[in-house]
Chains A and B, each alone.
Chain A
């Protein structure tokens, strides 16, 4: 990795997800590759969910950020396979999520099975740390989140679900 590529990766740390603004695209693990030839840059990203409306905004913000820094032309391309997984989220990203009040994804890949009425995963409340929590809905305010409630502090919270 040369100096320019390093610099671009660090600039991408500033590009955040408009729906979860504490996370950068690096934290999310959606940047798959950065290619540089002189000032021309190609950033390869992978979508989180097929219909995620944030992806268009993210692609635009990446372009703007790099153009402002004097790079160009900037191309943002998309790759679908291998499909994005929450396992690509950085540990730092998970910590930021928790601090923001969103429970980070647990390593248990619950999406892989179709078992019905599955045992609620033990998700720690991001506020009080209690595991005495209950799922309210598998689909939360955005595609990537589920809605939970803490039975101890009684607060509802979002869980960034495994994918």
Chain B
């Protein structure tokens, strides 16, 4: 029972990460610096939201099979939970995405750096998850890894292009590093549900991933002539978010909240 709840939380965490970053990226659609890159980021958004759907579908399956533990839960209206209700009807404190994913887009430099940090994390995470003991999570990871490989290459190239670009682009990338690097530690700090599942081989053990991720960031930053940056802000995985998430959800969920069950 406890393992079941942890698995639900973990799956939601994976889904929320992908959905929230995908939604952020989609805010660029129609606003990208040039058409090709607008399309590129929109494609990445689509991949991430697709991954989110697969995780939400699995979470819904797990939740619907679980006897109502908490009758007051907003997820427990006596109707079946769906991928849509999970995305559109939960509140900020129910979301378990990392703080990095919910940060505002800022300029193009901040957006590609956020994507690079996150894609590098997803690349190693999914690489391990596809060997994990949960067959569904492993299958989603195997599929998604191919997409993330493209995201990682694309975002790495942009970080280098801008970091090692003009004085202006370099300064903006340094500023973005200052804003975002303090949010990266959370990626590797396991939440309670990750710790309990990792012991059983159901979740990826994050600790060994960190050095591989740092190595990748170092290599790209070296080519990009960027300095590191450190620090630590956490809490997103446990539902403690920055103020940015509330605004994002207000926009993303508005229609389903105002017109419940609306379809078109």
Interface residues of A (CB under 8 A from B): 47, 49-53, 79-84, 111-118, 136-143, 147, 163
- Which residues of chain B from 183 to 227 have a CB within 8 Å of any chain A CB? 220, 223
Report yes or no: A139 in contact with B43, Cβ–Cβ below 8 A.
yes
Q: Which residue of B lies closest to A118 (CB)?
A: B153
Check B142 against A81 for contact (C-beta < 8 Å): yes
9 smallest CB-CB distances across A and B, nearest first, come from A51-B50, A50-B50, A81-B139, A139-B40, A137-B36, A80-B139, A51-B46, A139-B43, A83-B143
- Tell me if A138 and B150 are in contact (CB < 8 A): yes
Residues of chain B within 8 A of A49, CB atoms compared = 46-47, 50, 147
Contact indicator A52/B37 (Cβ below 8 Å)? no
With A83-B142, A112-B149, A136-B36 given, can you name 15 additional A-B contacts, CB distance below 8 Å?
A50-B47, A50-B51, A50-B54, A51-B50, A51-B51, A80-B54, A81-B138, A83-B139, A83-B146, A111-B150, A117-B160, A141-B39, A143-B43, A143-B147, A163-B146
Can you list 15 A-B contacts with CB-CB less than 8 angstroms, sorted by A residue number?
A: A49-B50, A50-B47, A50-B140, A51-B47, A81-B138, A81-B139, A84-B143, A111-B149, A114-B152, A116-B220, A138-B40, A138-B154, A139-B40, A143-B43, A163-B146
Give the complex CA separation of A49 and B150 in angstroms.
12
How many residues of chain B have a CB within 8 Å of chain A? Answer: 35
The complex places the Cα of A84 from the Cα of B146 at a distance, in Å, of 10
Asked if B125 lies at the interface with its beta carbon under 8 angstroms from chain A, I say no
B162 at the interface (CB under 8 A from A): no
Measured between beta carbons, the chain A residues less than 8 angstroms from B50 are 47, 49-52
Partner-A contacts on B (CB < 8 A) = 36-37, 39-40, 43-44, 46-51, 53-54, 123, 135, 138-140, 142-147, 149-150, 152-154, 156-157, 160, 220, 223
Which residues of chain A are near B48, meaning CB under 8 Å?
Answer: 51
Give the docked Cα–Cα distance between A114 and B152 (Å): 7
Q: How far is the CB of A143 from chain B (nearest CB, A)?
A: 5
The closest CB in chain A to the CB of B46 belongs to A51
Whether B123 and A137, one on each chain, are in contact in the complex, defined by CB atoms closer than 8 angstroms, is no
* Residue of A49, A50, A81, A115 with most chain B CB atoms under a 10 A cut-off: A50
Return B14 CB to nearest CB of chain A, in Å.
12
Chain A min CB distance to B61 (Å):
13
Taking the closest CB of chain A, its distance from the CB of B127, in whole angstroms, is 11
Give Cα A112 to B142, complex, Å: 12
Alpha-carbon distance A66/B47, docked complex (angstroms): 30
* B36 touching A82, Cβ below 8 Å: no
Q: Which residue of A lies closest to B159 (CB)?
A: A116
In the bound complex, what is the Cα–Cα distance between A115 and B40 (angstroms)? 18
Q: Which residues of A contact B157 (CB under 8 A)?
A: 116-117
Q: A50-B53, A81-B142 are in contact. Are A114 and B39 (CB under 8 A)?
A: no
Nearest residue (CB) in A for B220 is: A116
Closest Cβ–Cβ distance, residue B117 to chain A (whole Å) = 15
